[in-house]
Amino acid sequence: MTYRITPIAGIAALTLAAGAAHAEGELNIYNWGNYTSPEMIEKFEQEFDVDVTVTDYDSNDTALAKLKAGGHGFDIVVPSGNYVPIFIEEGVLMKSNPNEMENFGNVAQRWVDVEFDPGREYTVPWQWGTVGVSVNTSVYDGDINTAGLIFDPPEELQGKINVIPEMNDVMGSAIHYMGGEQCTTDREVLRQVRDKLVEAKPHWLSMAYGNIERLANEDIAATLNWNGASMRARLQNEDIAFGYPQTGYSIWMDNAAITADAQNVENAKLFLNFIMEPENAAMLSNFARYANGIEGSEEFMDDVMAEAPEINTPEELADAGYISKNCPPEAQKIYSQIWTELTK
């Protein structure tokens, strides 16, 4: 079998006896970069005699545009929960009914019937996590549980800050920091958000993805970040810590789905069922360092995951988390205007 990565910015119920299923051919996965466990892919290839190709993307918008254009050849895509309704509305996902698959019973109750895919007719859990602040504590030793490190940065961090260029994550963090709520259309709150972002930007070094190595190598001292990426940096540099903004932080889930024009549908269904097996879901978590939404996977996770502060939210900050959702068009229009001004 060959596991190939290309970098660029029927079985209705699937009742398979363990070890009895046989498939062949290929499977083409379109996923976020540095997010797919090679070990898990190799196991799938060997178990089902399928050659897997993984192609990377850097944002939900990039993935959506590629799928809408057609002729992409991808069978699996991994959109974030707040984008799943958009992908469905745009007709780029197949209604494959993973809720009828053999391993669907392993999905944790919290993630069985979700707002972005009621009843799980299109998607299965991939990984879930939070949006917070990664900080090098050898540079800044104050309170890290605040988005103020990004939006009102202390002198120690100025000029050493990165911000992931994800509009919904940045806007969500900024809106809550300024006292607003998710999906607000309050013009006064959003004026304050715009002003705060424009004021903060000169203190940022960059707006970029791929910050695990940059944090670990101390090329940046802080970044608005995802918790698993922060953990991967900490495992390379013990001074890296992850903060949960007290004013509010997003809880998100990425989800695997079959594309509407998939060429290898049966292999794609096998793959969805495969990643809902606890041992296989654990391989994803051990690689990317996020939780996965599959009951029983903890048994197979690396020991470092059990007590990781990036994975185990402090009890006193748990209520500050909110499930990320797709905001109405009127809100998205205003956010896009602010985002365009910020990134020009």
pLDDT tens-digit profile of 171-211?
999 999 999 999 999 999 999 999 999 999 999 999 999 89
- What is the pLDDT confidence band of residue 19, given thresholds at 50, 70 and 90? very low
CB atoms within 10 A of CB 185: 15
For the cut 90, the answer to whether the pLDDT of residue 339 exceeds it is yes
Contact assessment for residue 32 and residue 80, using Cβ atoms and an 8 Å cutoff? no
Q: Could you give the residue ranges of the DSSP H alpha helices within 92-235?
A: 148-151, 167-177, 187-200, 212-216, 227-234
Mean pLDDT (the chain) is 93
Contact assessment for residue 120 and residue 112, using Cβ atoms and an 8 Å cutoff? yes
With a pLDDT cut of 70, the percent of the chain lying above it is 93
Contact assessment for residue 52 and residue 26, using Cβ atoms and an 8 Å cutoff? yes
The pTM of the full predicted model, rounded to 2 decimals, is: 0.90
CATH 3.40.190.10 fits 129-251+314-343, yes or no: yes
The alpha carbons of the chain give a radius of gyration, in whole angstroms, of 20
d(CA 182, CA 227): 20
Tell me which architecture the domain covering 21-128+253-307 has in CATH: 3-Layer(aba) Sandwich (3.40)
Give the pLDDT confidence of 115-135 residue by residue, as tens digits: 999 999 999 999 999 999 999
- Do you know the residue count of the chain? 344
Give the pLDDT confidence of 262-298 residue by residue, as tens digits: 999 999 999 999 999 999 999 999 999 999 999 999 9
With a pLDDT cut of 90, the percent of the chain lying above it is 92
Give the pLDDT confidence of 121-170 residue by residue, as tens digits: 999 999 999 999 999 999 999 999 999 999 999 999 999 999 999 999 99
Q: Could you give the residue ranges of the DSSP H alpha helices within 220-328?
A: 227-234, 265-275, 278-288, 303-306
Phi/psi for 257 (5° steps) reads -145, 160
**Per-residue pLDDT averaged across 16-32, rounded?**
72
Contact assessment for residue 295 and residue 278, using Cβ atoms and an 8 Å cutoff? yes
- What is the pLDDT confidence band of residue 22, given thresholds at 50, 70 and 90? low
Instruction: Name the segment(s) of the chain with CATH classification 3.40.190.10.
Output: 21-128+253-307, 129-251+314-343
- What is the pLDDT confidence band of residue 14, given thresholds at 50, 70 and 90? very low
Pairing between strand 76-77 and 249-258?
A: antiparallel
For the cut 70, the answer to whether the pLDDT of residue 6 exceeds it is no
- What is the pLDDT confidence band of residue 24, given thresholds at 50, 70 and 90? confident
d(CA 50, CA 31): 18
Res 5: pLDDT: 47
